[in-house]
């Protein structure tokens, strides 16, 4: 208990999945948490765990500026930023040939631009403090080709690289602003269920069969849970990770050990 006691955490995409699990864990560990999301149930989720809620479209520069300024004004700083907002994109038209330019831009807008804006708008607050921890949620797919999910893969690979640039910037002028990326594998979230649902027609419309097919590729033999990723994020947010920056952390049960490039 108390691993982030006294810290202020801003979590985009905090109303569901990995973001919600992270928010709940950080509240439990002593942080003041602001969930920033567009989800209709966002205020309810925040209230249920003792967090605050702020409406945020992560693709809007103006809304990022407003949420960061209000959080800073109310709490006197922001010590932790978790960029957890993300989408998987259209799973029916997601190949190199079938992805539309509009869809490509939509996926990158949320997954990459949203992460960029979060880091950019929080950085001056952390520079004033001369310390902070930024955790960007990438994906295990950033490590291998994704010809059948090209927009998602590209956006998450870019988040991985961008996180290193943020880490390098954050260490300038004696600052202790750390940035790391976390790379979940097959985690039991809405996103995974949505992907599995689109695969289900190939498996006699059995969603359970699609999930079992996914599990069969994981060396540790089970889908991950949002809390598995939240615990990794908590470590990176805490002072325990004081010497950890510019690194990638896989939370995939060993899934990437078995993935061949481009298989579907």
How far is Cα 91 from Cα 199, in angstroms, rounded to an integer? 9
Residue 219 near residue 257 (C-beta atoms within 8 A): yes
pLDDT at 35: 98
Token output for 36: 């920033």
Of residues 36, 33, 1, 31, the one with CA closest to residue 16: 36
Lowest-pLDDT range of 116-125, 206-215, 216-225? 206-215
**Token output for 84:** 């957890």
More confident residue, 79 or 210: 79
Helix 114-129 / helix 150-170 crossing angle, nearest 10 deg: 10
- Local structure of residue 191 (DSSP, 8 states): H
- Per the structure block, which two tokens stand in for 35? 């969930």
Q: If you ran DSSP here, which 8-state letter would residue 54 be given?
A: E
Task: Please give the pLDDT value at position 72.
Answer: 98
Burial of 66 (0-12, 13-18, 19+ CB in 10 A): middle
Banded pLDDT at 213 (limits 50, 70, 90):
low
- Read off φ and ψ for residue 260, nearest 5 degrees: -95, 140
Per the prediction, the chain carries an average pLDDT of: 91
Region of residue 130 (left: phi > 0; alpha: psi -120 to 50; beta: else): left
pLDDT at 205: 45
Query: What pLDDT is stored for residue 178 in this prediction?
Result: 98
Tell me: the pLDDT tens digits for 25-67?
Answer: 999 999 999 999 999 999 999 999 999 999 999 999 999 999 9
Output the furthest CA–CA distance in the chain (Å, rounded).
Answer: 59
Higher pLDDT, 165 or 207: 165
- Whether residue 193 is predicted with pLDDT greater than 80 in this model: the reply is no
- Asked about 152 being catalytic, the answer comes back as yes
Give the DSSP letter of residue 42: H
Cα 47 from Cα 9, distance rounded (Å): 15
Paired with 55 in beta bridges are: 37
What is the per-residue pLDDT across 111-155, written as a single tens digit (0 to 9) for each? 999 999 999 999 999 999 999 999 999 999 999 998 989 999 999
Please give the Cα distance from 173 to 184 (Å, whole number): 32
| φ, ψ for residue 77, nearest 5 deg | 150, 170
φ/ψ of residue 182, rounded to 5: -115, 135
CATH superfamily entry for domain 8-186+226-253: NAD(P)-binding Rossmann-like Domain (3.40.50.720)
pTM equals: 0.92
pLDDT digits (tens, 9 = 90+) for 230-258: 999 999 999 999 999 999 999 999 988 88
> What pLDDT is recorded for position 88?
85
The residue annotated as part of the active site, out of 116, 143, 152, 162, is 152
| Extents of the domains making up the chain | 8-186+226-253, 188-223
């Amino acid at each position: 208990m108390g691993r982030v006691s006294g810290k202020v955490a801003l979590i985009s995409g905090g109303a569901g999945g990995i973001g919600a699990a992270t928010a709940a864990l950080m509240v439990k560990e002593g942080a003041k948490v602001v969930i920033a999301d567009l989800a209709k149930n966002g205020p309810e989720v925040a209230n249920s765990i003792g967090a605050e809620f702020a409406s945020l479209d992560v693709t809007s520069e103006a809304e990022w500026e407003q949420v960061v300024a209000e959080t800073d004004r109310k709490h006197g700083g922001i010590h932790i930023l978790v960029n957890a907002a993300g989408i998987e994109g259209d799973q029916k038209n997601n190949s190199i040939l079938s992805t539309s330019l509009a869809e490509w831009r939509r996926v990158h807008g949320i997954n990459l631009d949203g992460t960029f804006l979060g880091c950019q708008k929080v950085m001056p607050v952390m520079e004033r403090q001369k310390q902070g921890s930024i955790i960007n949620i990438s994906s295990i797919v950033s490590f291998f080709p994704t010809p059948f999910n090209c927009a998602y893969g590209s956006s998450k690979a870019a988040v991985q690289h961008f996180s290193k640039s943020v880490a390098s910037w954050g260490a300038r002028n004696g600052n202790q602003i750390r940035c790391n990326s976390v790379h979940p594998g097959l985690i039991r979230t809405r996103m995974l269920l949505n992907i599995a649902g689109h695969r289900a027609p190939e498996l006699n419309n059995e969603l359970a069969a699609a999930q079992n097919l996914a599990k069969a590729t994981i060396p540790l033999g089970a889908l991950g849970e949002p809390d598995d990723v939240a615990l990794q994020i908590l470590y990176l947010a805490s002072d325990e990770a004081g010497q950890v920056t510019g690194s990638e952390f896989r939370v995939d049960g060993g899934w990437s050990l078995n993935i061949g490039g481009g298989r579907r």
